[in-house]
Amino acid sequence: MRFFERLAARIESTDSVVSVGLDPDPSRLPEFVADADLPRWAFNRRIIDATHEHAACYKPNAAFYEDPDGWRALRETIAYAHGKDVPVLLDAKRADIGNTTRQYAAALDDADAITVNPYLGRDSLQPFLDRADKGVFVLCRTSNPGGGDLQDLELGSGEPLYERVAALADVWNGNDNVGLVVGATAPEELAEVRDIVPEIPFLVPGVGAQGGDAEAAVEHGLAERPDAAVDVGLVNSSRGIIFAGEESSRPDDEGTYFGAAGDSAKRLKKRLNQHR
C-alpha cells in the first residue's frame, strides 16, 4: 500500500487528521523517564500509548535524535508506532546531491514518509521521489516568522517563490507520492497553494503552540483524492500535545502527565473535525 493510501485508511479509521509531533526535548522530559535506558524512547512510548487512538500519523523531528542513543530511540519509536498501526513521517528536511542524498533517502527504509528541502532542485530529491510507496513532503511555505525572507521573494514571472515550489512539486509528482509543507500561520498562502495543487495533500504545522489557523488548516490543507473515501492531509501539533502534562493538575504524577497528552490530542481532533 502506498503512503497516501495508507494515510487515507488511517484517517478514516480514526476519524482524525492529527499528526502528533514527537519532539522529545531532553531538557523537558519528566523525571519519571530520566532513569530509563533510552529516556526519549520511554517518553515517546508513553505518548504513543496515550495518543494513538487520535493520531493519523506521528512526526518525529530528526533534530531531537541526532546522537547514537537518539537514533536507537527513533528506531524503537517508529517500530512501536507501526505496532499501533500508525504511519510515521520523519521530519528531517533532507536534500543534497549525488551519493549524499541517496544516503539521506535510506531513512525511508524505516519511516513511511519524510520532509525534504527543494532548494537544491529536483536531482537532490530524486532518490526520495523514486520511493513510490513512500511519502515525500516538500517544504513550500513554512510556519516560522522568517519563512518569508526567501519564500515570499517575487520571481520574474511575478509569482512568489513558494508558489513556484508548489507548481514544481506538481511536476515532480510522477509517483503520486508528493505532499507539501504549508504552515497554518499563513492562511492566505494556504488557500493560494491549494488553488495551484488541488490534489496534493499538505502537512500543516503551526496549529498548536504557534497558534495557527485551525479552520484554514483543514479547509485548505486536506486534498480530495479520487482513490480515497476521505480528504487526505495532516495537521500537526508537537509541543502542544506531548508537553501538555506540564500544565496538568498533577504534573508530577505519571498517569496524569501522559493522560494530559491524550486529552490534548483528543481536543485537537475534535477541534479540527468541526471544520471537516
- By annotation, the residues acting in catalysis are 93
3-state SS, residue 265: helix
Note the Cα 231 to chain centre separation in Å: 16
Helical pair 122-129 and 98-105, crossing angle rounded to 10 deg: 30
Q: Which residue has the cell 497516501?
A: 4
d(CA 257, CA 254): 5
Question: Do 233 and 15 meet the contact criterion of CB atoms below 8 Å apart?
Answer: no
What span, in angstroms and rounded, lies between the C-alpha atoms of 162 and 186? 12
- Residue 11: exposure state from Cβ atoms within 10 A (0-12, 13-18, ≥19): buried
d(CA 195, CA 220): 9
Q: Are 84 and 48 in contact, with CB atoms under 8 Å apart?
A: yes
Is residue 183 a contact partner of residue 203, using CB atoms and an 8 Å limit? no
Contact 6, 87 (CB under 8 A): yes
**Partners of residue 21 on adjacent β-strands:** 59
CA 241 to chain centre: 14
Which residues are CB-contacts of 267 (< 8 A; sequence separation ≥ 6)?
A: none
227, 201 in Cβ contact below 8 A? no
